[in-house]
Amino acid sequence: MEEPSKFERYVYKNASVYHYMKISLVLENGNKYITDAQFKQLITCGLKDLYGEVGASFPFDLLKFDQNELTGILRVYNSGLVKLWSALTLLGSYQNEACAFRVMQVSPFLLALSGNSRELQFGDQLTL
Amino acid sequence: MVRFKSRYLLCEVCVPDRSSLQLLEDRTIYNTLRAAVNRAHGDYGSALFNIGVIVKYLNAHTGVVLIRSRKKHYRLIWSALSFITCLENRGQKVQCFLNCLHVGGTIRTCQKFLVKYNRQQLHRMLPACKTDAEKQEVRRAILSCSLSNVREEEADEDGSDDDGDEET
């Protein structure tokens, strides 16, 4: 008599060590020329204003950066997600010019950032 | 029941020369600590400092400081203590560092610890005494340091120290 096959389910509470955020920078007076280093420096300044030296030293990475659209993908450890997100929210100015960070997607898996049902367009060509 | 729980940080101010300790005020420590928390933890740290932190006790002769903070954020304040390098008092800068001796939940526990700690320091000072008069002074100080309602410890101390006197 063979035993019935067992059903096993694995539940992970913290599946990934990192969180990934897709963000975009919106400037008041239209797009400026910003390099990826300046973009990261801007975010670090925001972290430093809100959370001080200890907050600004928290490691995060800019994985992708689109200079024309001023969008990027950030990677941060789970413990620093709240700090980074709050610093992005409260960042108000870049070189004396009003600006805002829009957070478009946040996910613990990078693959989830490749598709977004909000920006999905149906038609003859499937464009995302 | 529901009440505000606090943590008391018992710290010691270490300076190269003791004469500059006399001019310390609790306002100096408070302002220096606030600047250090602002530098280390930014706006978030400043806001937390404003809510719960106060310098409860300062002894200018021994350099003992008692800082109170909320239970949730005492580690943040504690971490900023290590970044303090100099205390400024009326234009004079005193090089120092703050050493945290004990974290207690109430002032009473911090006081008990301070009595024990001072007694240990006096015991350490005894072999370093050069003249006999100094030794007698230190022994008298050890005998007299105790909380007023801890009578048993005093009686024990008397007994053991009398034996020590007879030997020498």
Residue labelled with tokens 């007076």? A29
Which CATH number is associated with domain B6-157? 3.30.70.3250
Whether residue B79 lies within 8 A of chain A, CB to CB, comes out as yes
- Given a cut of 60, whether residue A114 has pLDDT beyond it is yes
Q: Are A50 and B43 in contact (CB under 8 A)?
A: yes
Work out the average pLDDT over B64-80.
93
Testing the interface with B: which of A47, A48, A49, A53 to mutate, by most B Cβ within 10 A? A53
Residue B166 pLDDT class (50, 70, 90 cuts): very low
Put simply, the answer to whether A53 touches B39 (Cβ < 8 Å) is: yes
Put simply, the answer to whether A52 touches B79 (Cβ < 8 Å) is: no
pLDDT tens track for B132-145: 777 777 777 777 76
Residue B108 pLDDT class (50, 70, 90 cuts): very high
Put simply, the answer to whether B41 touches A55 (Cβ < 8 Å) is: yes
The full set of domains in chain A, from first to last, is 18-108 (3.30.70.3250)
* DSSP structural state of residue A127: B
Mean pLDDT of chain A: 87
In angstroms, the CA B125 to CA B147 distance is 21
Residue B79 pLDDT class (50, 70, 90 cuts): very high
Specify the higher pLDDT residue, B130 or B124: B124
Residue A125: predicted pLDDT:
62
Residue B3: predicted pLDDT:
84
Burial (CB < 10 A; 0-12, 13-18, 19+), residue B45, is buried
Max CA-CA distance within chain B? 62
DSSP B59-105: ETTTTEEEEEEETTTHHHHHHHHTT--EEEETTEEEE-EEEEEEEES
Whether residue B40 lies within 8 A of chain A, CB to CB, comes out as yes
In angstroms, the CA A117 to CA A127 distance is 11
- Supply the pTM of this predicted model: 0.77
Hey, how many other C-beta atoms are within 10 angstroms of the C-beta on B31?
A: 15
Put simply, the answer to whether A50 touches B42 (Cβ < 8 Å) is: yes
Residue B123: predicted pLDDT:
84
Residue B147 pLDDT class (50, 70, 90 cuts): low
Domains of chain B, by residue range, sit at 6-157
Supply B104's token pair.
């207690």
- Given a cut of 70, whether residue B154 has pLDDT beyond it is no
Testing the interface with A: which of B34, B39, B41, B49 to mutate, by most A Cβ within 10 A? B41
Work out the average pLDDT over A88-105.
90
Q: Are B112 and B106 in contact (CB under 8 A)?
A: no
Give rounded-to-5 percent helix, strand, coil for chain A. 30, 30, 40
Per CB-CB distance under 8 Å, the chain B contacts of A54 are 40-41, 79
Asked which of A94-103, B87-96, B122-131 is least confident by mean pLDDT, the reply is B122-131
* DSSP structural state of residue A2: P
Tell me what ipTM this predicted complex has: 0.77
